[in-house]
Amino acid sequence: MKRTFGALALLFIFGTLLVVANPQHGLKFGLGGEEWEKHRYTDQYYIEHGLEDVGGTNIVTDIVFDYRGYDTIGEATVLFTAIAGAVALLRPWRRDEE
Amino acid sequence: MNVLPFMIIIPLLGAFATPIVGLAGRRAREAWAVLVSGATLGVAGKVLYDLWSTGKVLVYTLGARSPLGEGGFPIRIVWELDLLSGIMAFTIAFVAFLAIVYSLEYMSHDTGLEKYYTLALILELGMLGIVMTGDLFNFYVFLEIMSIASYALVAFRNDTWEGIEAGIKYMFVGSLASSFILLGIALLYGEYGTLTMAYLAKLMGENFTLTAKIALALLMGGLLFKSGAVPVHMWLADAHPAAPSSISAMLSGLVIKAGGLYVMARIAFSVFGLGVNLKTLGWVIILFACLTLIVGNAMAIVQTDMKRLFAFSSVGQVGYILLGFGIGLAAYGTDVGRVATAGAIYHIVNHALMKALLFMVAGAILHQVGSKNLNELSGLARTMPKTTAALIVGSAAIIGLPPLNGFAGKWLIYESSALFNPFLAAIAIIGTAFCTAAYIRVLYTFLGRPSERVMGAKEPGNAMLVPMFILVVAIIVMGLFPWAISEKVMVPAASMLANIKGYITAVLGGA
């Protein structure tokens, strides 16, 4: 019963995502020309101003370390947390040490 | 001076430096954790005061003076705080500080404590980052920081079977919920080409597409999970009892609210508010709220494990908060809606205080007696009178007895739901009846005849009692001025949350 319901729900989510992936109803793929200007204006800004704003020739590093550097601090923290968590959980048990 | 960045800098520095400071020994490590969380509390207090006294939305751009580039749209990450964010940040810093002080004694028999304090500070950092941010992807990053720290902390006692079991369960379903949220964000970015919440809200008001609706559904699904609403509450009832009690206090009091309820309100009002039909969205949330109210409170009655009872009661109280936000959306723009939202915000703060207190009491009993089974704990009032007094205050507050803080928040929710739809008020009252039954049962156990198990019990030390009594004092003081707090803080916060245009213009500068 639960399993059937879960499978049906998954099927439904899959169906809606297929609708989203259909360019006539949802997201467009392979944007160019006017559609690029309409949907990817932020990317266009980074490409045009990245060199003078930041000074790096690599757009991706310009974005990841300057425009959105705060997210990168967050990602580093995620990694630090994951390591701290893994080390904390793999430490010896209390009774083993005694 | 703008102290806002220090709300992130201090816990970030604190967490990353803990492994190094920990080399100087146990005392240094504990002092460092208390110092860092205390300093964060000070900064959060200043930020809350600034937000409250100016009544403006506070915007801070990372890396430039203005969030807007030459194109007139935001290109950098912004922090955007309204009064609700300020209230959340202060509550988080306050309860996290008390939980860290409490764990000085509570965790003293555990090993691996330098990792414990690192993770606890990161948990606080993640929650503060969530309530401060005005950027959708940045919210996801901090949600992951908070979630990963809480997975590790739930399973921190790796020599107990329930810790590991709950940790695995929480991690598997939690990562699934996070990926729903990420998928929703990806769809929104693909459709609108921006990640800044305020600009996204403006674009959605102009053109609300099918993709945005599906993204909203994915985001809401993930956030309902993170807040422990009913069809997806099962992780909460396992994770909160299995975690160390200082962490349960943070999980139940803060994590489900910062990562779930706050963001749900922010996304529903501030991001999707101009596009989506608020009435429909409100009724969807109300539906989950009613289920959560009934199931959470009813399941609390039948528990024999004290921490599990409190965990189910948290599910039930999440129901009230959801009900408040749901009515606030469904009756958007009316007085009823504003009162309901104010009640939900008030109840978030109240529930954070009282549930932190109750989990700290449960932790004190577990630490001193070694059992959290209610059948073994009768007559604890005889041997641990101070702890029992704290328990009585906490449970009276959570039921909503008038002299304490729980009353006012719940009253606003009852009143607005009765005006909105009497059927919802009836459900809320039934939920409270169940909740009362559950807590009366706990109190009867404590006031009964002492069992053998509790005869030798002693009160815990000051490091555990003092945080508990600070919370008791906070609950009583907030209970003495319920209407003043509601008028001066909670209603303005609700109005600021409902003012969608104000949230947008704060970033876009009148554009």
Inter-chain CB proximity A26 and B137 less than 8 Å: no
Instruction: Please tell me the predicted confidence (pLDDT) of residue B120.
Output: 94
On whether any CB of chain A is under 8 Å from the CB of B62, the answer is yes
pLDDT-based confidence at residue B384 (cuts at 50, 70, 90):
confident
The Cα B371–Cα B356 span in angstroms is 19
Specify the 3-state DSSP secondary structure of B69.
Answer: coil
A98, pLDDT greater than 80: no
- Give yes or no for a contact between B131 and B82, defined as CB atoms under 8 angstroms apart: no
Inter-chain CB proximity A73 and B12 less than 8 Å: yes
Inter-chain CB proximity B210 and A87 less than 8 Å: no
When the pLDDT of each residue in chain B is averaged and rounded to a whole number, the result is 91
Task: Express each pLDDT in B417-454 by its tens digit.
Answer: 999 999 999 999 999 999 999 999 888 888 888 888 77
Inter-chain CB proximity B191 and A71 less than 8 Å: no
Dihedral, CA atoms, B208, B210, B214, B219, nearest 10 degrees? -10
Inter-chain CB proximity B141 and A39 less than 8 Å: no
Mean pLDDT of B83-91: 94
Would you say the C-alpha torsion B90, B94, B100, B101 has a positive or negative sign? positive
Inter-chain CB proximity B122 and A25 less than 8 Å: no
Inter-chain CB proximity A74 and B190 less than 8 Å: no
Any idea which of A61-65, A66-70, B295-299, B367-371 has the lowest mean pLDDT?
B367-371
- The tokens of B339 are what? 């009162």
Task: Express each pLDDT in B101-138 by its tens digit.
Answer: 999 999 888 888 889 999 999 999 999 999 999 999 99
Chains A, B: CB contacts within 8 A come to 128
- The tokens of B139 are what? 């919210």
Measure CB to CB from residue A77 to each of B116, B122, B159 and give the nearest one: B122
- Give yes or no for a contact between B52 and B73, defined as CB atoms under 8 angstroms apart: no
Task: Express each pLDDT in B310-357 by its tens digit.
Answer: 999 999 999 999 999 999 999 998 889 999 999 999 999 999 999 999
Cβ contacts of B129 on chain A, cutoff 8 Å: 74
Please list the alpha-helical segments (H only) found in chain A. Answer: 2-20, 34-39, 41-53, 59-62, 69-89, 94-97
B278–chain A nearest CA distance, Å: 22
Inter-chain CB proximity A25 and B141 less than 8 Å: no
- Give yes or no for a contact between B196 and B67, defined as CB atoms under 8 angstroms apart: yes
State which residue of chain B sits closest to A31, comparing Cα positions. B190
Task: Express each pLDDT in A47-94 by its tens digit.
Answer: 988 888 888 889 999 999 999 999 999 999 999 999 999 999 998 887
B391, pLDDT greater than 70: yes
pTM here is: 0.94
A8–chain B nearest CA distance, Å: 16
A97, pLDDT greater than 70: no
Inter-chain CB proximity A74 and B145 less than 8 Å: yes
Inter-chain CB proximity A84 and B75 less than 8 Å: no
Residue B492 CB-half CA count within 13 A? 19
On whether any CB of chain A is under 8 Å from the CB of B423, the answer is no
- Give contacts of B 165-224 with A, CB under 8 A: 167, 187, 190-194, 209-211, 214, 217
B495–chain A nearest CA distance, Å: 30
Inter-chain CB proximity B187 and A27 less than 8 Å: yes
Distances (CA, A) of B376 to B134, B372, B382, B443: 49, 8, 14, 13
Percent with pLDDT over 70 in chain B? 99
A36–chain B nearest CA distance, Å: 10
B40, pLDDT greater than 80: yes
One-letter amino acid at B359 equals F
The Cα B365–Cα B182 span in angstroms is 40
B205, pLDDT greater than 80: yes
Distance of CA B271 to the CA centre of its chain: 20
State which residue of chain A sits closest to B129, comparing Cα positions. A74
- Give yes or no for a contact between B136 and B185, defined as CB atoms under 8 angstroms apart: yes
On whether any CB of chain B is under 8 Å from the CB of A20, the answer is yes
Mean pLDDT of B171-179: 94
Specify the 3-state DSSP secondary structure of B81.
Answer: strand
Task: Express each pLDDT in B261-285 by its tens digit.
Answer: 999 999 999 999 898 889 999 999 9
CA max distance for chain A? 70
Inter-chain CB proximity A40 and B70 less than 8 Å: no
Percent with pLDDT over 90 in chain B? 67
